[in-house]
Amino acid sequence: MADFQALAREISEYDERTLRKLKRDINAIRQELGDLLDDFANKDDSINQRRLGRLLSELDSLMAKQSEVIFDDTTEGMSLAAKATALFLVTHVNDKWNQYVLNVQNDLAMRKWLNDLSLWDRSRIISGRYGDEIRSIIRQGVYQGVSTSRIRRQVREIYEGTESNLDRLVVSEIQNTYRLQFGHTNKQNGQIWIQFNEHFPASKNRRNHECYEYAREDPYGKGPGIFKVDDEKIYSPHPQCTSYLSIPSFVLGGEA
Ligand SMILES: [Zn+2]
């Protein structure tokens, strides 16, 4: 019998690997911002007011680059998750199936999801928020004549205080990709039943999550958590959801 939890564990490794890479890349952008501040600093470490406009426009380009980094790193993790899921299904469920790997860029990353936002939109929004806060720190700092080292410290605090936004984005996108690919490969190969399984690593308010409900629902009288591939809600129950999918045993019975 296929070990569907093993696939789910492999997917969470992609979450972590992607987050590590993204945080490294964001760190490099923060370094670039530090260098930029150095370039604009006078001997006494302050920045001239008349150079503020140019500094802020350099900041804009850096934040645009940052949103591309967020998008690229996340889609790379999503691709790995999609490929691993499709490969798992043809290897462990039915070797006569085709993989039907989704095109992550076109099928998922540019498509609008929750709140009508695509990953592309969300990467820009997250990066734009950093940009807004950093911009006001720089502007205020320049008018107050504070040192660039102080500005740099405040910028670091912003990044450190908002790391959880990146966690949320990356984990949500990769987990959704995995579940969507799981459903897609099954559907394309003509297998319509999917079992939805909740997975809460020590979550205190699990009962408030959609997945708690879904795992107990029995919409077709086939057993709790058993849905059809077209029931879209099982693919992205809520942000950062790590629920995993399997194929019900009544389907696997004949094939195992
Ligand atoms: Zn959940």
Measured in Å, residue 93 CA sits from the centre of ligand 1 at: 25
Measured in Å, residue 168 CA sits from the centre of ligand 1 at: 13
- How do residues 93-129 score in pLDDT, each as one tens digit? 999 999 999 999 888 888 876 668 899 999 999 999 9
Residue of 252, 87, 82, 62 lying closest to 180 (CA atoms)? 82
CB atoms within 10 A of CB 229: 20
Query: What is the pTM assigned to this prediction?
Result: 0.93
Measured in Å, residue 198 CA sits from the centre of ligand 1 at: 6
Measured in Å, residue 97 CA sits from the centre of ligand 1 at: 29
Instruction: Give counts: helices (H), strands (E), the chain.
Output: 7, 3
Pairs from 134-143 (Cβ < 8 Å, separation ≥ 24): 134/33, 134/59, 134/63, 134/158, 135/56, 135/59, 138/37, 138/47, 138/52, 138/55, 138/56, 138/59, 139/52, 139/56, 141/47, 142/46, 142/47, 142/48, 142/49, 142/52, 142/55, 143/49
46-55, 74-83, 197-206, 241-250: range with lowest mean pLDDT: 197-206
Measured in Å, residue 209 CA sits from the centre of ligand 1 at: 6
- How do residues 143-185 score in pLDDT, each as one tens digit? 999 999 999 999 999 999 988 999 999 999 999 999 999 999 9
Q: How many residues make up the chain in this entry?
A: 256
Do 110 and 120 meet the contact criterion of CB atoms below 8 Å apart?
yes
Measured in Å, residue 199 CA sits from the centre of ligand 1 at: 7
Residue of 78, 125, 69 lying closest to 102 (CA atoms)? 78
Helices 119-144 & 163-188 angle (0-180, nearest 10): 170
Measured in Å, residue 176 CA sits from the centre of ligand 1 at: 11
